[in-house]
C-alpha cells in the first residue's frame, strides 16, 4: 500500500509540474536560454560534425579537396558536417567500395571505404573494420596533410 501511495504522489507531482510548465510556456518561450541550456545546444551542434581527429586546419584541407573534385559547395570552415561527408561519400562510392546511401552520415560503411582509401595511399595498415580507431584517425590526418590544399 505504501508503494502505491508513493507512486500516486509521484504521478500527481509530475502532472502538476507539467501543467504548471504548460501554463507558463508563453512567457518562458520569450526568455533567453540559460547557460546550461546553451551548453546543451552547443554540444548538439558539435555532434553534427565528425572530423575523426582532424584539426580544423586539416579538415579545411579536406573540404578544399572536396570542393575541387567532389562538388562540395558549402563552407570551408574546418567542420566535416553532413555536406562534407556527402561529397566524400561520392568519392568513396566511386573508387573505394562505399555501398551505402549518400546521406552525409559517416557510419561504419563510410569508415570502411575511408580505410580502403587510406590503405591504398599508404596511410593506414590496420583492418578494414569500419571503426574509426587511433590508426584510422592518424591515417586520415596524414592523408589530409598530404593533400596540398
Q: Quick one: average pLDDT of 41-49?
A: 51
- For the cut 90, the answer to whether the pLDDT of residue 139 exceeds it is yes
Given a contact cutoff of 8 angstroms between Cβ atoms, the answer to whether 114 and 91 are in contact is no
Distance CA(3)–CA(104), nearest Å, equals: 49
Which residue is associated with the grid cell 507512486?
Answer: 7
Query: DSSP per residue over 16-76, as a string?
Result: HHHHHHHHTHHHHHHSPPPHHHHHHHHHHHHHT---TT--HHHHHHHHHHHHHHS---S--
Q: Quick one: average pLDDT of 136-142?
A: 97
- pTM of the entire predicted model: 0.69
- What is the model's pLDDT at position 45? 42
- What is the model's pLDDT at position 60? 98
Distance CA(40)–CA(28), nearest Å, equals: 17
3-class DSSP state of 116: helix
50-74 pLDDT tens trace: 999 999 999 999 999 999 999 999 9
Domain ranges of the chain: 2-47, 56-146
Which residue is associated with the grid cell 573505394?
Answer: 96
Amino acid at each position: 500500500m505504501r508503494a502505491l501511495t508513493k507512486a500516486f504522489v509521484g504521478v500527481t507531482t509530475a502532472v502538476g509540474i507539467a501543467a504548471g510548465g504548460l501554463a507558463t510556456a508563453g512567457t518562458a518561450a520569450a526568455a533567453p536560454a540559460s547557460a546550461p541550456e546553451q551548453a546543451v545546444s552547443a554540444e548538439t551542434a558539435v555532434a553534427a560534425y565528425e572530423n575523426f581527429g582532424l584539426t580544423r586546419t586539416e579538415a579545411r584541407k579536406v573540404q578544399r579537396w572536396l570542393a575541387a573534385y567532389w562538388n562540395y559547395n558549402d563552407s570551408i570552415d574546418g567542420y566535416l558536417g553532413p555536406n562534407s561527408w556527402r561529397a566524400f561519400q561520392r568519392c568513396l562510392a566511386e573508387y573505394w567500395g562505399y555501398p551505402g546511401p549518400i546521406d552525409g552520415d559517416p557510419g561504419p560503411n563510410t569508415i570502411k571505404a575511408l580505410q580502403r582509401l587510406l590503405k591504398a595511399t599508404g596511410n593506414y595498415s590496420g583492418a578494414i573494420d569500419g571503426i574509426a580507431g587511433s590508426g584510422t584517425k592518424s591515417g586520415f590526418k596524414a592523408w589530409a596533410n598530404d593533400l596540398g590544399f
